[in-house]
Amino acid sequence: MGSCERKSVQAMFGSNVFSDLVMRERLPKNAYRDLKRAIEEGRELSPALADVVANAMKDWAIEKGATHFCHWFQPMTGVTAEKHDSFISPTPDGRTIMEFSGRELIKGEPDASSFPSGGLRATFEARGYTAWDCTSPVFVKEDGENVTLYIPSAFCSYTGDALDKKTPLLRSMEALSRQAIRILRAFGNSTAGRVTATLGAEQEYFLLDRKYFERRLDLMLTGRTLFGAPPPKGQEMEDHYFGSLPERVASFMREVNEELWKLGVSAKTQHKEVAPGQYEIAPVFTTVNIASDHNQLTMNTLEKVALRHGFVCLLHEKPFAGVNGSGKHNNWSIHADDGQNLLDPGRTPHENAQFLIFLCALIRAVDRYAPLLRASVATAGNDHRLGANEAPPAIISIFLGDQLTDILEQLERGGARRSKGGGVLKIGVSHLPPLPKDSTDRNRTSPLAFTGNKFEFRMVGSSMSCAGPMFMLNIIVADVLKEIADELDGARDVNAKAQKILQRIAREHKRIVFNGNNYSEEWIEEARRRGLPNLKNAVDALAVLKGKETLDLFERHCVLSRREMLARHEILLDAYSKTINIEALTACSMARRQILPAAVEYAGGLARQLAALQEAGADAGFAKKALAAVSERIEKAAARLEELDAAQREAAAVEGSEKRAAAFRDRVIPAMAELRAEVDALEAVVDARIWPLPTYAEMLFSR
């Protein structure tokens, strides 16, 4: 496309979204007003209103070229799902009209029997239903020639149990708003009506030339390389981070941005990441449920556009051993609808008091519910990152920076002399010193860092839905806010009471604050001394989900019922086992059908050449040694293959999801690692022309 044909970014932005502006233009005044109110209050639309809205949407979508609509939902697979229906409605005279009813907008009934339900949906009742989340705008999406109207939806079983990631996220936003508003009221705010959590998700990914991808069964089936000797050059020169973009990548990014802008996703930042072939894209933050939908669209767009440029986009947490994996930093804050960012320290003492309450609520929540936060990012893929000296460790802690830590210490002492200003820090009376927002102050190793006016949760895996970690953060903070609001409610002097509460939190929970290097061995020791949990793998981490405390917490705030939570625990464990099972089967298949045959072919050729050399009376030293080396390694790799094969069968046969997952973790993962070590050693001695797989050097460094 020539640059003169390009639409301006302003014209493009949101052009495929049924936005507020479009609604105002296209809906009758009353319908617009009622819809806005329903969106703001999260209420259901009346059938009459739904019909009016659906009709306007249909006309708009058809003008954009749409022929179909779909309810777009987020089952527990972590990716999105959609089932397309066309607008056509045949008439008795053999023609057709284009129809879209309010009922179709509000509710879909996909056959849900093949989505994970953790036992929530009896197989005889296969139906589930999807319901429009009217707080997330409808949009049209262009895929090739096909244009479809997308309706962001929640997904439930027929009995109303949540089977998706969106439902608990929406419920957690309600819970958080409810409790945060109580705190604002306690501090005399009567104007704010709603508080929303916000999210800005920084997405990391790899780009790989498609020709290599197609020759690697492991990448195709598991998203990561199961074999591959380290290349002569890795990321040690640190020359990739923030480097200039190769032209093909730059063109790819331009197209990604344009597609996202059309969908109203405010893609903003893009750069090269630490590992060769690794990149990042980040949007401007927005309401957490919309941001979470937008992140799904971003992942989908990256994958789709990559193919057009001869790339494959890898979203896996660890596509390549030995270089950095990919994460998804979730920047999170809470905003009141009167314009305040509640995690902004503010300028007046009054704002400070309120800020400190919200800050300390988060500190208490994270310390008390650390295992839950850890569980919210527990997947087989993310286990490769957490604790591997490239991503935060599996130990949860908070980075506050020097100044806030100093303030926390003063709070603990209950109004000691302020070191920096010399006065006494009395909340609601004193000013806070200005806190630095400058990025040089940031600790890149912390799992949860305060960065000026938001928290950055860095443990989230690159391929994960943001919804899980975000509803967890929302709910644990809501719970502590509830506790604090209960105390403040009865207080005569709110500031004095708040000071007491802050003192107690500082005393009880300061152990969760750590400003040092989270990657160091010393921290692991120190964390143990502090009694902080270190849940190193997903199976251990997930166990907390079925604990009484968790079930009570989620029921207390009406986010997930006991049944729903226990089902989720099952689903996540099952996903873990299935992931490792597929990896093991893929590794076995590649070793048996590609790698060992190639190595044997090489050995056979060597043997023939060695005989010829010896017959000719030539000096055959190298050929002899090479044959001995490769033969020995073939035998070793073959033995490891049989061991992995046995371990996989054994684990797959274990009854009970928890025991099965543990078997995959304890038996299969180590067996895979052993096979890999032998295969990688074999790679180092086999003729490059015979080796059947693209190497790390080719995959990471070719442009």
Of the CA atoms within 13 Å of residue 112, those in its CB half-sphere come to 33
In whole angstroms, the minimum distance from the beta carbon of 400 to ligand ADP comes to 16
Considering beta carbons, is residue 341 or 609 the nearer one to ligand ADP?
Answer: 341
| CA–CA distance, 79 with 148 (Å, rounded to integer) | 18
Considering beta carbons, is residue 165 or 454 the nearer one to ligand ADP?
Answer: 454
In whole angstroms, the minimum distance from the beta carbon of 444 to Mg ion comes to 8
In whole angstroms, the minimum distance from the beta carbon of 325 to Mg ion comes to 15
Helix (H, G, I), strand (E, B) or coil at 478: helix
In whole angstroms, the minimum distance from the beta carbon of 278 to Mg ion comes to 14
**Among positions 341, 403, 405, 631, the unique one binding ligand ADP when judged by CB under 6 A:** 341
**200 is a contact residue toward ligand ADP (CB under 6 A):** yes
The encoded tokens of residue 522 equal 């010393």
**439 is a contact residue toward ligand ADP (CB under 6 A):** yes
In whole angstroms, the minimum distance from the beta carbon of 197 to Mg ion comes to 18
**Among positions 80, 177, 198, 203, the unique one binding ligand ADP when judged by CB under 6 A:** 198
| CA–CA distance, 519 with 522 (Å, rounded to integer) | 9
Backbone angles phi, psi at 675, to 5 degrees: -65, -45
Q: What amino acid occupies position 441?
A: D
In whole angstroms, the minimum distance from the beta carbon of 201 to ligand ADP comes to 7
Q: Return all residues near 432 (Cβ < 8 A) that are at least 6 apart.
A: 345, 352, 355, 407, 425
Neighbouring CB atoms inside 10 A of 208's CB total 24
The encoded tokens of residue 22 equal 């479009």
In whole angstroms, the minimum distance from the beta carbon of 188 to ligand ADP comes to 23
- The CA–CA distances, whole Å, from 537 to 382, 404, 519, 675 equal 9, 32, 17, 21
Q: What amino acid occupies position 225?
A: T
**329 is a contact residue toward Mg ion (CB under 5 A):** yes
Per CB under 5 A, the segment of 249-257, 293-301, 329-337, 636-644 that binds Mg ion is: 329-337
Number of residues binding to Mg ion, judged by CB under 5 A: 1
Per CB under 6 A, the segment of 88-96, 198-206, 367-375, 604-612 that binds ligand ADP is: 198-206
665 binds, among Mg ion, ligand ADP, none (CB under 5 to 8 A by kind): none
Neighbouring CB atoms inside 10 A of 371's CB total 21
Per CB under 6 A, the segment of 92-100, 326-334, 500-508, 692-700 that binds ligand ADP is: 326-334
Per CB under 6 A, the segment of 19-27, 34-42, 215-223, 327-335 that binds ligand ADP is: 327-335
91 binds, among ligand ADP, Mg ion, none (CB under 5 to 8 A by kind): none
In whole angstroms, the minimum distance from the beta carbon of 596 to ligand ADP comes to 45
Residue nearest to Mg ion (CB): 329
In whole angstroms, the minimum distance from the beta carbon of 39 to ligand ADP comes to 21
In whole angstroms, the minimum distance from the beta carbon of 220 to ligand ADP comes to 31
> What residues numbered 449-468 form the site for ligand ADP, per CB under 6 A?
451, 453-454, 456
In whole angstroms, the minimum distance from the beta carbon of 361 to ligand ADP comes to 16
> What residues numbered 249-288 form the site for ligand ADP, per CB under 6 A?
282-285
In whole angstroms, the minimum distance from the beta carbon of 271 to ligand ADP comes to 9
Considering beta carbons, is residue 151 or 201 the nearer one to ligand ADP?
Answer: 201
In whole angstroms, the minimum distance from the beta carbon of 248 to ligand ADP comes to 24
**Among positions 331, 354, 518, 657, the unique one binding ligand ADP when judged by CB under 6 A:** 331
Of the CA atoms within 13 Å of residue 191, those in its CB half-sphere come to 5
Contact, 328 vs 204, CB < 8 A?
A: yes
| CA–CA distance, 480 with 484 (Å, rounded to integer) | 6
Residue nearest to ligand ADP (CB): 200
Q: Mind giving me the DSSP string for 111-176?
A: B-TTS--TT-S-TT--BEEEEE-TTS--EEEEETTEEEEEEEEEEEETTS-B-BSHHHHHHHHHHH
Q: What amino acid occupies position 372?
A: L
Number of residues binding to ligand ADP, judged by CB under 6 A: 17
298 binds, among Mg ion, ligand ADP, none (CB under 5 to 8 A by kind): none
Q: Mind giving me the DSSP string for 382-432?
A: GGGTTTSSSS--SB--EE--HHHHHHHHHHHHTS-B-TTTSSB--TTTSPP
Q: What amino acid occupies position 523?
A: W
Per CB under 6 A, the segment of 330-338, 366-374, 379-387, 580-588 that binds ligand ADP is: 330-338
Considering beta carbons, is residue 102 or 452 the nearer one to ligand ADP?
Answer: 452
Q: What amino acid occupies position 671?
A: A
Contact, 518 vs 446, CB < 8 A?
A: yes
Among 639, 685, 646, 694, smallest CA distance to 668 is for 646
10 binds, among Mg ion, ligand ADP, none (CB under 5 to 8 A by kind): none
Among 170, 167, 163, 166, smallest CA distance to 76 is for 163
**123 is a contact residue toward ligand ADP (CB under 6 A):** no
Considering beta carbons, is residue 426 or 437 the nearer one to ligand ADP?
Answer: 437
The encoded tokens of residue 367 equal 């310390």
454 binds, among Mg ion, ligand ADP, none (CB under 5 to 8 A by kind): ligand ADP
341 binds, among Mg ion, ligand ADP, none (CB under 5 to 8 A by kind): ligand ADP
Contact, 366 vs 473, CB < 8 A?
A: no
Contact, 374 vs 366, CB < 8 A?
A: no
Considering beta carbons, is residue 66 or 478 the nearer one to ligand ADP?
Answer: 478
Which own/partner contact pairs does 253-256 have at CB distance under 8 Å and 24+ positions apart?
253/279, 253/281, 255/305, 255/308, 255/309, 256/281, 256/301, 256/302, 256/305
Per CB under 6 A, the segment of 68-76, 216-224, 331-339, 464-472 that binds ligand ADP is: 331-339
**401 is a contact residue toward ligand ADP (CB under 6 A):** no
| CA–CA distance, 659 with 299 (Å, rounded to integer) | 33
In whole angstroms, the minimum distance from the beta carbon of 455 to Mg ion comes to 11
Neighbouring CB atoms inside 10 A of 72's CB total 29
**Among positions 57, 134, 195, 199, the unique one binding ligand ADP when judged by CB under 6 A:** 199
Query: Which residues sit at the interface with Mg ion, rule CB under 5 A?
Result: 329
Residues in touch with ligand ADP (CB under 6 A): 198-200, 202, 282-285, 331-333, 341, 439, 451, 453-454, 456
